[in-house]
Amino acid sequence: MKIWLLRLSSAAFLAASALMAQSGPNSSSLLSFDAQAADSSADRPSDRTAPPHSFKPFTRYAIGAGISPLGVNLMVATNIGRNFNLRGTGNLFQYTVNNITTNGFNVDAKLNLASAGASLDIYPFARHGLRFSPGVLFYNQNSADTTFTVKGGTTFTLNSVQFIASSTNPVTGVGSLGLHTQSPAFTATTGWGNVIPRSGGHWSFPFEVGVAFIGSPALNIALNSGQVCNAQGQVCIDVATDQVLQANLQTQIAKYKNDLDPLKTYPIVSFGIAYSFGAR
């Protein structure tokens, strides 16, 4: 593009010289001189027509950081062509929350996000930031773990059916959610911002949206300790052997899985900052 701009500039200069030829006796000689100079410059390379920055493969690199639903991410990238970058990312995040109350259960949960992937960034217009990025998560350990407790003598609900926890042997359980049933997981994103600016700048602020095809979430919940009792608290049964409770638990798990199924196309919305530099 820069070569075409120089050619247009040369054409404009020659046109201006032609106009000057009409206003002075020496204009024709100046025009002749300029034409000869233009012809000779076309036959030999000129530093002015050379691109100011080299974009041979693996001559520029970038490092950056950002945030997304995959966690806090670190990024490295290199150019493999004027319209292509190769980018690697690693994501990590942990979060713990305690004493959530739902349907009579007290829930403690820990979210663990850990993944790594690579993508090919395709820039249809080298000097503009629009990009399309097919990629893959080759490492994915995104998951959540929970523990459940029910205070003795209180009620809890499974599949809209109420149960009463024993006052002397309260109900406890565990649960796990896996967001990695498809491994490796393919990703598809689009965004704006070239982490290796073709203008030769150093800083960029990339943004992208897309999805990771992680497969349907895997959900497991088990109530395996404690007892449930009748309304009078006189007849109690272990939760592990109570067929009515276990049947309603499995129905409740199926409902949760149906609610979570849209996460098989896990959303990616990422904001970040990157710094690029040339290879020594």
Is residue 268 over pLDDT 50?
yes
174's tokens: 């565990």
Whole domain around residue 18: which residue ranges?
2-49
Domain membership of residue 56 (yes or no) is no
Q: Are residues 150 and 176 in the same domain?
A: yes
Polymer length in residues for the chain: 280
Whether 54 is in a domain gets the answer no
Same domain? For 27 and 155 the reply is no
Per-residue confidence (pLDDT) for residue 62, from 0 to 100: 97
Q: Determine the average pLDDT of the residues in 77-81.
A: 95
pLDDT at 73 over 70: yes
What pLDDT, on a 0 to 100 scale, did the predictor assign at position 266?
97
Confidence label for 83 from pLDDT (cuts 50, 70 and 90):
very high
Is 57 a member of any domain? Answer: no
Q: Are 175 and 55 in contact (CB under 8 A)?
A: no
Specify whether 29 is located in the same domain as 123.
no
Which of 116, 57, 117, 115 lies closest to 85 in space, CA to CA?
Answer: 57
pLDDT at residue 270 is higher than 90:
yes
* pTM summary value: 0.76
Over residues 202-231, the pLDDT tens digits come to 999 999 999 999 999 999 999 999 999 998
Tokens 């206003």, located at residue: 23
The Cα 106–Cα 102 span in angstroms is: 7
The single residue listed with the structure tokens 């459940």 is 148
Same domain, 240 and 123: yes
240 band by pLDDT with thresholds 50, 70 and 90 = very high
* Closest to 77 (Cα-Cα) out of 190, 197, 188: 197
Closest CA to 249 of 178, 156, 138: 156
Residue 53, pLDDT score: 53
Q: Do 187 and 138 belong together in one domain?
A: yes
* Token pair in block for residue 162: 């109420």
Specify the amino acid at residue 247.
A
In a domain, 244, yes or no: yes
How many domains in the chain? Answer: 2
Specify if 55 maps to a domain: no
> Could you tell me what percent of the chain has a pLDDT over 70?
80
**By CB neighbour count within 10 A (0-12 exposed, 13-18 middle, 19+ buried), where does 198 fall?**
buried
**Which pLDDT score, from 0 to 100, does residue 54 have?**
57
Q: Are 44 and 108 contained in the same domain?
A: no
DSSP state, residue 142: -
Tens digit of pLDDT for each residue in 10-41?
A: 333 333 333 333 434 443 333 343 444 344 44
Q: Average pLDDT of the chain?
A: 84
Name the CA radius of gyration of the chain, rounded: 32
Residues forming beta bridges with residue 157, ordered by sequence position: 162
